[in-house]
Amino acid sequence: MRVGIVGAGTMGRVHAAAYRRIGVEGLAAYDVDPVKLADFASEEGAEPFTDYPKMLAEVDVVDVCAPTFAHQQLAEQAFAAGRDVILEKPLALSVAQGEQILRAARESGRRLFVAMVVRFFPQYRRARELVSRGELGRIGVVRLKRVSFPPAAAWFRDPAKSGGMPVDLMIHDLDYARWLLGGPRRVFARMSRGDRASALEHVQATLAYDDGAMVFVEGGWAYPPGYFRTSLDIAGDKGLIEWSSDQPVPLDTLLPKDAPPPKLGLPMAGLEENPYETELRHALSAFDSGEPFAVAPQEALEALRLAIAVRESALSESVVEVA
């Protein structure tokens, strides 16, 4: 299967490295910036294309790692050329754009995989498995955190191009919350932004569910350079799961003494593989076999809808109904 990477930036390189480890040969690459494209091609061993349609004619799968504002056009062109598409998250900048991408995939008869990588992190997968097996009982409270320094590329800092922090970064945890518990009824979020030009958005969002469950999601781009912290903490009436990137132990469970011993184990096997590699291996294998993706396009759209609702709530300082 020949893969063409679109976007010779950070994620293009992360994906190229993952394809190398998977053993994918004959990578192709396209970027609007010829200098970045040439560097990428020589460093990643890809065939460079300065013309997108020409690359589309040469590959089986297009992997869009370009900035979010370009996702719709690049994906739609690929579908029109009869190619399957891997698209970095977030799906798009608006629900309408996202719906158009999903429609273009359906109408072309091609497949779309949206790369929501957190679903491929072993700790997050394992925690979700325990929740769906009922080992924690009824879930009451979930806390998810993902805080980082501001991204360097200028387009991230313009919400019209990236969607802002909730759509770009917090979407990982919003998707995870939906994967655990389904969609919330309403959201309320507060944002601290520093000055407008700095993009130092830091958001605390509360997701309220019909059954009384609450999810608190914290996300931000206001940490000092180099810092990236994530954590999850899921409380049910039978037990609790905690994990934090600050802890040496990948995943910790606190279950009552009379419960069967946790079958958790430490997800060491999963940690041996880079989650981007797990994710792309899954996508290629699903393209090949026709099996369903671990992330359905509609789920990526619903995560985007929720992220936009969070941003809307933070900006309007009011509760936003989601469902």
Ligand X SMILES: NC(=O)c1ccc[n+]([C@@H]2O[C@H](COP(=O)([O-])OP(=O)(O)OC[C@H]3O[C@@H](n4cnc5c(N)ncnc54)[C@H](O)[C@@H]3O)[C@@H](O)[C@H]2O)c1
> What are the residues binding ligand X (CB under 6 A)?
6-12, 30-33, 36, 65-68, 70, 74, 88-89, 115, 117, 153, 168
- What value does the CA radius of gyration of the chain take, rounded to a whole number of Å? 20
Under a CB-based contact definition with an 8 Å cutoff, are residues 147 and 229 in contact?
yes
Least gap, CB of 175 to ligand X (angstroms) = 11
- Three-class SS of the chain: CCEEEECCCHHHHHHHHHHHHHCCCCCEEECCCHHHHHHHHHHHCCEEECCHHHHHHHCCEEEECCCHHHHHHHHHHHHHCCCEEEEECCCCCCHHHHHHHHHHHHHHCCCEEEECHHHHCHHHHHHHHHHHCCCCCCEEEEEEEEEECCCCCHHHHCHHHHCHHHHHHHHHHHHHHHHHHCCCCEEEEEEECCCHHHCCCEEEEEEECCCCCEEEEEEECCCCCCCEEEEEEEEECCCEEEEECCCCCCCEEECCCCCCCCCCCCCHHHHCCCHHHHHHHHHHHHHHHCCCCCCCHHHHHHHHHHHHHHHHHHHHCCCEECC
- In whole angstroms, the minimum distance from the beta carbon of 18 to ligand X comes to 11
Least distance to ligand X from the beta carbon of 230, Å?
11
**Min separation Cβ 321 and ligand X, Å:** 26
| Least Cβ distance, residue 37 to ligand X (angstroms) | 8
18 vs 117, beta carbon nearer ligand X: 117
Please say which residue, 74 or 213, places its beta carbon nearer to ligand X: 74
User: Least distance (Å) from ligand X to the CB of residue 266?
Assistant: 23
Pick 33 or 43: Cβ nearer ligand X: 33
* Residue with Cβ nearer ligand X (16 or 136): 16
Minimum separation from the CB atom of position 26 to ligand X (A): 20
